[in-house]
Amino acid sequence: MDENIDVKPFFVEAYSNEQFVIMLDDGAYPETRSVKSSNFCQIAVQKIPNSNKLVIMSVIDNLVKGASGQAIQNMNIMFGMDEGLGLEQIGLLP
């Protein structure tokens, strides 16, 4: 990968209309405590300086986004409702 290419804008654009995806600022890292008991996914994209490596990190709550919350989101879509109905709870920090 060309080290002069900034790939983060591609991710920001791809997820710009996703209400449950939070793209983190440069230098920030996703934390599971920030999405605990929520349907949100945090994503960080970091380039490793002086290399051709890219690190993409994400976190979700496995019980909400990973299981029951995903089922609710899918059901909402299937019935033509707002996909976020009943899932707007923000993360609960411990």
Q: How far apart are CA 53 and CA 4, in angstroms?
A: 12
Give the predicted TM-score (pTM) of the model.
Answer: 0.82
Does some domain include residue 89?
Answer: no
Position 51 scores a pLDDT of: 82
Region of poorest pLDDT, from 6-10, 16-20, 29-33, 61-65? 61-65
Does some domain include residue 69?
Answer: yes
Domain that holds residue 37: 8-78
CB 30 within 8 A of CB 24: yes
Q: How far apart are CA 15 and CA 43, in angstroms?
A: 10
| Domain count along the chain | 1
Does some domain include residue 55?
Answer: yes
Does some domain include residue 93?
Answer: no
Does some domain include residue 84?
Answer: no
Domain containing residue 61: CATH number: 3.30.360.10
Does some domain include residue 3?
Answer: no
The predicted-structure confidence for 38-91, as pLDDT tens digits, reads as follows 899 999 999 888 888 889 999 999 887 778 888 999 999 999 999 999 888 777
Position 59 scores a pLDDT of: 96
Q: How far apart are CA 21 and CA 41, in angstroms?
A: 5
Does some domain include residue 87?
Answer: no
Does some domain include residue 1?
Answer: no
